[in-house]
Structure 1
Amino acid sequence: MSVQTSISRALQRVWTAFIAAVGRLDKSLSPKDTLRRLSQRQWTFSDSIYLFHIALATFWMSVMQAPGFPLKLMIPTLYAIMILIPLTSQFFIPATPIFAWLLTFYTSRFIPVNWRPNISVVLLPTLESVLYGANISDLLTRFTHSFLDILAWLPYGVIHFIFPFVVGAFLWLFRTKEALHLWARVFGYMNLIGVIIQILVPCAPPWYELIYGLTPANYSMPGSPGGLARIDRLFHSNGYTVTFSNSPVVFGAFPSLHSACATIEALFISHFFPQCTKFIWTYAAILYWATMYLTHHYLIDVVGGSCLAIACFYLFLPDALKGTNALLPPGGLSTTTFGGQRSKYELYDLDEPVGRRGRGMNSNIMRDASDYDLEESDRESDEEMDITFRSPITPGPTSATPLMKPKGGAANQAKKSHRHTASIASLIRAEERAEEGWSPITASFNIPPVPRSDETRGPRP
């Protein structure tokens, strides 16, 4: 199968899935529909989590200094409007944990210094040496090269910020709505827990040790791009230097949310799209290395972030999305659109015959017919019973010849070579030919004519 054909089919599948996904959306713009659904909703204990979100948002809004009052009230106002409109609420309500994480991350810069805990400078390198026998991150940064810089920059500084949207888009297109909601919930709460840990247990990253040694740190110190400064010099820019120097969480080395995001993405992709498992875990492994090579995290940070992601994934994963249920397509999309049953030509990467690649309606019929290929169990049953020895006339108890299989290698070979090739023409008007003494199975097999009921009785007196 050519690369062009594969790309064309993949794009066609994505487009078909996109049309189906848009068709599933609730396109209502009336807030009355949302209020009616809220009045009919059966509230459960798990819904009390929204009380936590309200309390957390209230705290951060009171701490926020930029934008100031009353402009910062636009944030909850816009969010309330988005959840009242059905078209937008179907995205904003599941994404509430993500918004809570972003609000926490941004507003943490405004926490008063007298509220903040002391910054630990020696905790992480000490744990690294005790647990692993050496400072692994320091060993990985002793040799640098432009090629390694690019290899580390792509997953850490580019793909990391894009890939969460890619995972969400593929879940929206090719999996059920519950899978997309699970992604938003797990991704949001994982990052929210990670940022809270970084705020409560501030630790200096490896770049601090390289610049300042083990001298005590304070919150007035700016952040550093670490190894990404070489990327700025390579592209003659200062984007990463400015971004990391003004980071809200400068001393948030533990846990590594870069490694946590890569792990949770790998878990979701391998669970819902198992055919991509080896590719996504290769990406995750490269990002683990990149976090240490760019002097942003210790190995203990990478392990901590991965453990956080694994715990969140299996804690939130419901039974309804385990096993084969994770591969179910959404409504309006067949199982063959993505990740479902494939024809034998796609399965074994073979060129499709010309007759099957023909243009027009006939080609579509032939491609659709591939969905009805015999399964392995059907092939095994064919080995046991060969239709070339079946007669259109039910054999009587006086002869079992039509049901007997020939003996000998040549006969068996012929049987396997011409299976399912019995001529349909030989079965036409078989009953009349049988009465004449001819059988469509073999010329030497004769069936005596069946006497009629009036002939057996004889003439009436």
Structure 2
Amino acid sequence: MMNPGAAISSTLRGIWTAFLAAVARLDKSLSPHDTFQRIKQHTFTLSDSIYLFHILLAAFWLIILEAPFWLKFLIPTAFTTALIIPFTSQFFLPAIPVFSWLLTYFSSRFIPKDYRPGISVVLLPTLESVLYGANISDILTRWTHPLLDILAWFPYGVIHFVFPFVVAAFLWLFRPKEALHQWARIFGYMNLVGVLIQILFPCAPPWYELIHGLTPANYSMRGSPGGLARIDKLFHSNGYTVAFSNSPVIFGAFPSLHSGCATMEALFISHFFPQMTKFIWAYAAVLYWATMYLTHHYLIDVVGGSCLAVAMFHVLLPDEVKGPAATASPPNLVTGTRRSKYEIYDLDEPRRRGVNGGSIMRDAADYDLEELSDRESDDGEVDITYRSPVVPTPPHSATPLVKQISAGAKGDPKKNHRHTASIASLIRADERAEDGWSPIAQTFKLPPVPSRTDRSGEP
């Protein structure tokens, strides 16, 4: 068994090898001319019209964005420049849905209050009680402990913001580029749809019910960190209090994008790295609990976010990255050693043994076909019909049996001719059987005995 130090060293070497292969696959061109050439050669389809939607959506948010003109001009200019340079476009083009989501999320605060829909305070706790028989999220928050606070804070307040980059990094290193492109595309669209639902259908989270009860809410209210305030107190900081108090989407309880992101991460990891399935779903389960324990979401929000992730994954994931293609390595990456068919299918390799417990096969050095054929040829042609398939001397390994003849070695032409004659006798045996001398006919017939005259060659 490999010791831990050797295992870590082997893992690091594998990651470094994958990193070098991934860098080699990058398009390192900095010429916009290459991008324009690709656009000319591209065959546009109806699906490309989605980029018009992104352009119109970005234009809307930039118009209502309360920022200096130079900043409004800088954002589209910088993004367009990144798209026309091949080296950066290979990352920014697939990530357009992600940037659309981020722009929508941070710019939604500037929507005039007169155009915003009313905030629902009662709907979510009522649905939770009706569907599940109790307010599950309220039950989970009645007993708290610092250890539980840390257990909930780490996936909700730390891993949630880091893990999307980890998934992207592993897809970039160990899977073809199509997998990374689909991750950016589907993950971005899921969050974009979720934020649009939160904007069009605002609902108060559980922390609002704990602080204000069921009184009507308005957009002038500030957000709350909920149970994360205990983390700020534990570490003598105010980072989460400041961040959640100034959140652009304060009343975005439904659907829970924390649970949606965790579900999407679990779906991608279990699809492209099946060996990690049980670990990634364990993380998702802990995060589901953390969202309710920290009073940020109701159970109905968690279910809604997970359902959104599952729907987006199965609808948008193309067939090109399903099946065996999901676990295929990049074309220039070779990892590990070549495995036998027994290791691939997790089978026990059979051990064939002879009568006395020895292996049937043996090394080619011990099993000399050339010498055997020579011995057979000494007494003339040997009929292969009666040749035993078992070698008299038991061999010792499964090494190929044919001995390599050294360069320049020459055999006896007569011996080779006599040895080949027994094999040639099998060719067109059915026709020879009609003449009565084929050794493999259904009924054996002895060849005609030549007369003394035939043997002497006289007429």
Partner SS for 1:79: helix
What's the offset of the Cα at 1:73?
A: 1.1
Q: Which has the larger radius of gyration?
A: 2
- Aligned pairs for 1:229-378 (under 5 A) are 229-334=229-334, 336-337=335-336, 368=337, 371-372=339-340
- SS class of match (1:429): helix
For 1:35, give the aligned amino acid. F
Alignment of 1:76-225 (within 5 A): 76-225=76-225
Distance in 1 of aligned mates of 2:52 and 2:103: 16
Verify: 1:418 aligned to 2:359, yes or no.
Answer: yes
SS of 2:339's equivalent? helix
Partners of 2:121 and 2:203 within 8 A in 1: yes
Q: Is the 8 A contact 1:21 1:173 kept in 2?
A: yes
1:324 Cα deviation after fit: 1.2
Unaligned runs of 5+ in 2: 380-387, 394-414, 422-449
Cα-to-partner distance string for 1:148-194 (whole Å, 9 max, x where unaligned)? 00100000000000000011111111111111111011000000000
- Aligned twin of 2:434: none
| SS in structure 1 at match of 2:214 | coil
Shift of 1:429: 2.2
Q: 1:219 to 1:450 in 2, by over 3 A?
A: closer
Distance 1:160 1:256 in 2: 12
Cα-to-partner distance string for 1:36-63 (whole Å, 9 max, x where unaligned): 1111111010000000000000000001
After superposition, the Cα gap between the structure-2 partners of 1:249 and 1:374, relative to the gap in structure 1 and judged at 3 Å, is closer
- Structure 1 residue runs without a partner (length 5+): 338-367, 389-410, 444-448
Q: Structure 1 129/451 Cα, relative in aligned 2: closer, same or farther at 3 Å?
A: closer
Taking the aligned partners of 2:40 and 2:252, their CA distance within structure 1 comes to 42
Q: Could you tell me how far apart the structure 2 residues matched to 1:62 and 1:301 are?
A: 31
8 Å contact 1:105–1:195 — kept in the other structure?
yes
Contact 1:203 1:254 in 2 (8 A): yes
- What TM-score, normalized by structure 1, do the two folds share? 0.80
- Establish whether residue 226 from structure 1 lines up as the match of residue 235 from structure 2: no
1:432/1:266 CA distance change after superposition, 3 Å? same
- Matching residue within 349, 374, 377 for 1:432: 374
Aligned counterpart in structure 1 of residue 392 of structure 2, from 442, 450, 456: 442
Q: Identity, % of aligned pairs?
A: 63
In 2 relative to 1, CA 261–430 (structure 1 residues): closer, same or farther, beyond 3 Å? same
Distance (Å, rounded) in 2 between the aligned partners of 1:182 and 1:296: 29
**TM-superposed deviation, 1:112:** 0.5
Q: Distance in 1 between matches of 2:238 and 2:348?
A: 67
Match of 2:105, SS state, is: helix
Give the equivalent residue in structure 2 for 1:73.
Answer: 73
Note the C-alpha offset of 1:97.
0.2
The answer to whether the Cα contact below 8 Å between 2:149 and 2:231 also exists between their aligned partners in 1 is yes
- Are 2:127 and 2:300, in contact at CA under 8 Å, matched by a contact in 1? yes
- Number of aligned residue pairs: give it: 392
Aligned equivalents of 1:380, 1:85: Cα separation in 2: 53
Q: Which residue of 2 aligns with 1:42?
A: 43
Which one-letter code corresponds to 1:5 in the other structure?
A: A
CA–CA distance in 2 between the matches of 1:458 and 1:451?
A: 22
User: In the TM superposition, what is the alpha-carbon distance from 1:424 to its structure 2 partner?
Assistant: 2.6
Aligned residue for 1:121, secondary structure, equals coil
Determine if contact 1:179/1:321 at 8 Å carries over to the other structure.
yes
Deviations 1:272-308 (A, max 9, x none): 1000000000000000000000000000000000000
Q: 1:2: which partner in 2?
A: 3
**Structure 1 pair 373–303 and aligned structure 2 pair: CA distance change class (3 A):** closer
User: Alpha-carbon deviations, 1:423-458, whole Å to 9, x = none?
Assistant: 633426223344679x99438xxxxx99979xx997
Alignment correspondent of 1:29: 30
Query: What is the CA–CA distance in structure 2 between the aligned matches of 1:277 and 1:78, rounded to whole Å?
Result: 39
Tell me the CA shift for residue 105 of structure 1.
0.2
Contact 2:342 2:349 in 1 (8 A): no
8 Å CA contact 1:137–1:299 kept in 2: the answer is yes
Quick one: distance in 2 between partners of 1:240 and 1:98? Answer: 23
1:85-140 residue CA offsets vs partner (Å, 9 max, x unmatched): 00000000100000000000000011100010111110100001000111000000
Correspondence for 1:446? none
Change (3 A) 1:382 1:11: closer
Cα RMSD between the aligned structures? 2.7
**Contact 1:24 1:331 (8 Å CA) reproduced:** no
1:71 shift after superposition: 2.1
Q: Measured at CA, do residues 429 and 233 of structure 1 come closer, stay the same or move farther in structure 2, by a change above 3 Å?
A: same
Where 1:421 maps in the other structure, the secondary structure is: coil
* Distance in 1 (alpha carbons) for counterparts of 2:101 and 2:367: 75
Q: Is the 8 A contact 2:187 2:264 kept in 1?
A: yes
CA–CA separation in structure 2 for the residues paired with 1:287 and 1:382: 46
Query: Using the alignment, how far apart are the partners of 2:186 and 2:341 within structure 1?
Result: 40
1:62 alignment counterpart:
63
